[in-house]
Structure 1
């Protein structure tokens, strides 16, 4: 589990971010006036947008990890420097509601463990290989999510059927993301999938009504 680059929430979120971005472009086409020129411009704009958004999201992923680890390292140092109740309070604040199940002796054992491990187990604060792999994964997911919804525009000569098939693909992708979220969260996966698909269908209806 610790070696996982992105958890299911991150993976599905990045796919949905990219998906919503590309659908905002496919939805701008008008079935009445759009021709090959407009379709080509839309495809270029969608690819360029998700290319840029994937890069920005990857950078933000790295920054978020660096800030999180810096905060963890600071907490680690503060706990080691403190003793008794102040150290226990710091640990309890970090644990949140879970700390209610721990007594002073439990918190003290945690503090002592942190002190004993301080020389070689304190959180790293610099850039890691895992950060770079995660950033690349984020970029790849956002950019790759561009292609399924735009493929119909490459195979259909008319805009209307291409938009409808693109909408179905988008809803199917949302269905799969919802299923993944539901399974990860311990909910009923199929229910979560249908809720996400219904949300996607609603978004598609709005897009078609406004742009098609």
Structure 2
């Protein structure tokens, strides 16, 4: 964890897109956005073109928010790299090794500081001092653009399981049932993935995410979302 937060070369040279938490979070975000429109559909009093209008509106909304989310991911990535480069420059320009070690320790989270010895920080300081090809300014690479594109696609694709039944199922009440079942399955799958990634009960996490998703969706609709 310490190495990941400091060593930009080792952490960013490896091909990577999004981790499990990022993928699940973006999927849930797109899912909740689509649910705000589906939640407004009435199976009894829906007009004839309600399904098509709802689908187009939900898709348009998720296209917009997928773009915003992707751009903000790039902004966040660039900002984090800028902070790491600032730390590296501070370590390299320190007049005394103890000052450099203090900079590294301050960069740790409060929970990690008591667990990391000065000798470990000295090893990192020495590595930083020996490496001379650090970038001058933070930059974005092809992998970052691919990750941003993945975020955009995840948010947009989350629209379809929720809203598509209204286009392919003629009866609104049946389409509403199919949409809700698919939504619950997606929420359960998201919780299952997070639970397994975190190392605790996947099934319980899946059930908890399903309940949380239902509560959040109801709150979003009640608040006018």
Query: Structure 2, unaligned stretches of length 5 or more?
Result: 1-10
Measure how far apart 1:123 and its partner are.
8.4
User: Matches of 2:119 and 2:216 in 1, distance apart?
Assistant: 53
User: Matches of 1:99 and 1:64 in 2, distance apart?
Assistant: 24
Q: Alpha carbon RMSD of aligned pairs, Å?
A: 2.3
Q: Residues 55 and 139 of structure 1 are in contact (CA less than 8 Å); yes or no, is this contact kept in structure 2?
A: yes
1:108 corresponds in structure 2 to: 122
2:88 corresponds in structure 1 to: 76
Q: 2:33 aligns with which of 3, 14, 21?
A: 21
TM-score w.r.t. the length of structure 1 is 0.90
| More helix as a share of residues | 1
Q: Residues 69 and 123 of structure 1 are in contact (CA less than 8 Å); yes or no, is this contact kept in structure 2?
A: no
Instruction: Please identify, of 26-35 and 181-190, the stretch whose mean Cα deviation from structure 2 is larger.
Output: 26-35
Q: Residues 18 and 143 of structure 1 are in contact (CA less than 8 Å); yes or no, is this contact kept in structure 2?
A: yes
1:57 corresponds in structure 2 to: 69
Measure how far apart 1:86 and its partner are.
1.9
Instruction: Please identify, of 11-20 and 34-43, the stretch whose mean Cα deviation from structure 2 is larger.
Output: 34-43
User: Matches of 1:36 and 1:207 in 2, distance apart?
Assistant: 25
Measure how far apart 1:63 and its partner are.
0.5
TM-score w.r.t. the length of structure 2 is 0.85
Measure how far apart 1:206 and its partner are.
6.8
Instruction: Please identify, of 28-37 and 176-185, the stretch whose mean Cα deviation from structure 2 is larger.
Output: 28-37
1:153-206 C-alpha deviation (Å, 9 max, x unpaired): 122222222112111111100100001101111111111011111223445667
1:141 corresponds in structure 2 to: 154
1:67 corresponds in structure 2 to: 79
Cα 1:162–1:209, aligned 2, differ >3 Å: closer, same or farther? Answer: farther
Cα 1:123–1:32, aligned 2, differ >3 Å: closer, same or farther? Answer: farther
Cα 1:25–1:105, aligned 2, differ >3 Å: closer, same or farther? Answer: same
Cα 1:35–1:133, aligned 2, differ >3 Å: closer, same or farther? Answer: same
2:18 corresponds in structure 1 to: 6
Measure how far apart 1:207 and its partner are.
8.0
Measure how far apart 1:37 and its partner are.
1.3
Q: Residues 50 and 142 of structure 1 are in contact (CA less than 8 Å); yes or no, is this contact kept in structure 2?
A: yes
Q: Does 1:163 align with 2:209?
A: no
User: Matches of 1:121 and 1:61 in 2, distance apart?
Assistant: 23
Cα 1:203–1:111, aligned 2, differ >3 Å: closer, same or farther? Answer: closer
Size of the alignment, in residue pairs?
210
User: Matches of 1:181 and 1:140 in 2, distance apart?
Assistant: 20
